[in-house]
Amino acid sequence: MNPRADLQGSRPSSLVVLESGVEVLLPAIAKPVLIPSFWLKLAASKDSTYANISAEWTDGSNFQRFGNSESDISVCDSDMIQTASLNELAGTLEVVWRNGLHHEFSLEELHERILRSEVALPYARVPWHSHTQFPEFDYGNVMTSRASLLELLDSFLQYGMAFLNGAPRDESEILNAATRFSAVQPTHLGETFRLRGTANASNLGETADAISLHIDLVYKQHPPDIQLLHVLKPADEGGENVFVDALQVIEQLEKEDVRLLRTTPVVFMAKSGTVDFRGVHTILAFDDSTRFQSVRHNEHKMVLPVETPIEFYRAFLRFRDIIERQENSLSIRLPADSMVIFDNARILHGRRSFKGVDRDVVGCFLSEDDLLSKWRLLKRAATVSPPG
């Protein structure tokens, strides 16, 4: 199948030339889009130096300098279009600027540039609660089939979490999984870390105690993106993992509490003989378009600045009540040879206490960028040759 076939029916069709650009009708989104003249100028200034070779480079190809001197195009917002026309037969948009410059644009490329840029999240996030049924994935399938891997990653991106069963019982297997899904993000704990009850515990994870809801390494300014846990041996009794979706929690918070939680800075600290980490975060973070970005929380590591307003304490206590509501939490006793992957910026996690010292879990952190890159590659391949 022609990889571009899906674009053919949705090329820009009608065209209106305006002072500041051209207005085209994009059937794919069924509404006119104004393409500013400076945007078109930029699109025309693609650097050809590495054309045809860089597409296979490890950092890919998207060479487009702002106002590329090689093609002698100055880009400024006062650029005006003299005439523009669609050449349906050649599949081009032809533009003549007032200074006499002339450019031809491939409609397919224009279409791709307009529709395929990812300012919006390229996937939908689905808030979940205690009754949500999560699909479970077979480890062997995910490690060998690209379609299964894509399904796993789709599910992870939707829910911020995904479960796998049947992983080989080997402490280093987690690294194979990590490189299949993404890339390892090493930390001061190393490439992997071990959660095993020991008499000489050096952190809470190594005790048999309950651990309240938190995100990992919140005391860093850049906490790790994604966490992967592999259960080598579950506890004989207890030791359930607990998960809560911040997206669900936000829906239950009063607007004013969200405002306080997203605007009041909190210091998170990890100070010992061997480390001295600080992370300053708001409990909730959103981008300018009010899209949720992260939850940052760990009561054990939290230090409130003295100037923190009293209203924040109240909002924080209500936040804590909501994250602990049973209806919001999934408590699960992960069996031996299972793995769970979860978004450390969205999913709060904790653990119930357990008996005995045999529980053995190995963990590592993964990069979100690398996971998304793998996901996009898989999506692209699935569009070119959909699974039969």
Question: SS3 for 17?
Answer: strand
Q: Based on CB atoms, which residue is closest to ligand AKG, 316 or 342?
A: 342
Structure tokens at 67: 């106002």
The residues, any chain, with a CB within 8 Å of residue 52's CB and separated by 6 or more, are none
* Smallest separation, CB 169 to ligand AKG (Å): 16
Question: What amino acid is encoded at 195 in this protein?
Answer: L
Please answer whether residues 97 and 37 qualify as being in contact, where contact means their C-beta atoms are separated by less than 8 angstroms: yes
The residues that touch ligand AKG, with contacts defined as CB under 6 A, are 195, 204-205, 211, 216, 229, 241, 349, 351, 361
* Smallest separation, CB 219 to ligand AKG (Å): 12
* Smallest separation, CB 307 to ligand AKG (Å): 30
Q: Based on CB atoms, which residue is closest to ligand AKG, 33 or 204?
A: 204
What CA–CA distance (Å, rounded) separates 148 from 135? 12
Helix 37-44 with 107-115: angle, nearest 10 deg: 120
Q: Based on CB atoms, which residue is closest to ligand AKG, 35 or 226?
A: 226
Q: Based on CB atoms, which residue is closest to ligand AKG, 190 or 305?
A: 190
Q: Based on CB atoms, which residue is closest to ligand AKG, 21 or 350?
A: 350
Candidates 381, 370, 327; CA nearest to 183 is 370
Please answer whether residues 334 and 164 qualify as being in contact, where contact means their C-beta atoms are separated by less than 8 angstroms: no
The residues, any chain, with a CB within 8 Å of residue 139's CB and separated by 6 or more, are 164, 165, 166, 167, 168, 177, 337, 339
User: Of all helices (H) and strands (E), which one includes residue 175?
Assistant: helix 173-181
* Smallest separation, CB 124 to ligand AKG (Å): 28
Question: SS3 for 284?
Answer: strand
Q: Based on CB atoms, which residue is closest to ligand AKG, 225 or 257?
A: 225
Candidates 8, 42, 41, 36; CA nearest to 24 is 36
Radius of gyration of the chain (CA): 26
* Smallest separation, CB 262 to ligand AKG (Å): 24
- Going from the C-alpha of 169 to that of each of 176, 357, 374, the distances in angstroms are 12, 18, 25
Candidates 15, 72, 85; CA nearest to 45 is 72
Q: Which residue is nearest to ligand AKG (CB)?
A: 205
Q: Based on CB atoms, which residue is closest to ligand AKG, 43 or 211?
A: 211
What CA–CA distance (Å, rounded) separates 92 from 284? 46
Question: SS3 for 249?
Answer: helix
Q: Based on CB atoms, which residue is closest to ligand AKG, 161 or 361?
A: 361
Pairing of strands 21-26, 237-238: unpaired
* Smallest separation, CB 218 to ligand AKG (Å): 10
Please answer whether residues 2 and 385 qualify as being in contact, where contact means their C-beta atoms are separated by less than 8 angstroms: no
* Smallest separation, CB 343 to ligand AKG (Å): 14
Structure tokens at 175: 């690294």
* Smallest separation, CB 201 to ligand AKG (Å): 10
* Smallest separation, CB 211 to ligand AKG (Å): 5
Q: Based on CB atoms, which residue is closest to ligand AKG, 241 or 328?
A: 241
Please answer whether residues 332 and 136 qualify as being in contact, where contact means their C-beta atoms are separated by less than 8 angstroms: no
* Smallest separation, CB 217 to ligand AKG (Å): 9
Q: Based on CB atoms, which residue is closest to ligand AKG, 24 or 211?
A: 211
What CA–CA distance (Å, rounded) separates 162 from 3? 30
